[in-house]
Structure 1
Amino acid sequence: MRLIYFDEVKYQKGAQPFYFLGGIIVSADDVWHLENELAKISGKYFGTSILTRHTEFHASDIFHRKANFKSWNNPEKRADLVKKLAKILDSRPNVAKAFVCIQPEQMLVNTSFDDKAFMFFTEKIENYLRSINSPGLLIGDRENKKVSEQFAVDLSRYRRNGTLYQLGTELLHLIDTVHFTDSHHSRMLQLADLYVWLLQLQFNSNDNDKNQLRQMILDYVSRETKIFQPTKYKIWPNQPR
């Protein structure tokens, strides 16, 4: 049995050219170990491991000094925390990673790119679960009620009829529905958030980037971890992998 914790990075015209949907695929044993490590980090930085909004590791908030990290003026301290979280994410060798990256501005019609990303994501997860002959359960961040309800309906439809298009995929290994909870109540969703946030950081970087904090994080993740080596992914409208 595998649990698939996933999150999104929203498309913002003129600011964020990509829409990401990605996540981590873990066993119960992985969850046990990862939660224990994150509890230690939470105790160090927040003084408690209890899950509340005030103890949430949200990657964008760390980077931009928001919410729980508003007073963190030192960029090296913020980079160090992101590195510690990335090291934990990379610490379990059997944790798989999958993502879909949609480029809405290259689509003829971009009104349903989040639905399309979810369909592609379920296909990639199904392909991975087949390869290890295991059922899997999707768990997402309950941030947007409309999207949450639509994803649940879409998964039910895909499980019954297969995904769309002529060469659609039968979803034989994803079970039940899509379960949603608040990210501040799940360390695993916080790792999924970290994963997709790091992806967008990588995709939006270039050789002329002068942001020192971004470069410190990207250099570490690229050099010291395998986070940027996904198990399954699709960049659309480019070719799938």
Structure 2
Amino acid sequence: MKEVHAYADGRLVRDETEVVGEFPLVIRVNDRELVTLVASPHDLRFLVAGFLRVQGFVGSVDDFQMLSVCNDYGVANVRIKGELPETLKPILTSGCGTGVTYSLPGAGEGNLRVADGEPVTPEAIFALMEQLARKAEQYKVHGGVHSAAVGALDGTLVLHAEDIGRHNTLDRLAGEALIRRMELSGMLLVTSGRISAEMAAKAAGLGIPLIASRTSPTDMAIRICQEAGITLIGYLRGGTFLVYTHPQRLSAAAE
């Protein structure tokens, strides 16, 4: 608990409140310092595994020879099969606190494509977002965090993650699925935060056919989803939403 002073009715009074945890984590891969992620301090192995997965450095849990997180020193030591590329060019993204990626496809590259699948009902999307809201425990306590979840086509929530960075929530989902040997391809993604190009590209790489957010996507995210075959939904709230790309995947009449 953190001591604060609360202002109300013209007076300042002493109070206590919970605050959001912010944890810098250095990731070392094959004795090479790769990146420092700023994240929430819980379940860091999922975050590390997911970050390396969405960057394309690992493809399965069997690619890890070692994954050790030392919370005391803020270091994750990882050993993977094979070697990292000799040259890595980090890209600072629009994530909260600035995210980082080593593989951000641009519009027009056409190197990511999600397979067509069964139609999705609006009811399933609303059900997933409602479950995500109920699962957002940290936000209920002190706010300041983002949440995301993946679920089945029938609206059943499968995995949930929270973090101070919205880009980290998807990494956490990817990492937990990898470690638990769960398949994300064909699942639906719902998120509380803005959908950026990085989020869209990661979802495409994971084979996710639909992304829905309570807020807006960026123009680059829309282009990536259009080319990758992803249905992109924004402003999902109060029984309504906007569909930016591929509305044909929804089992609802389009005019």
Q: Structure 1 or 2: larger helix share?
A: 1
Higher relative contact order (CA 8 A, sep 6+): 1
Larger of the two Rg values belongs to structure: 2
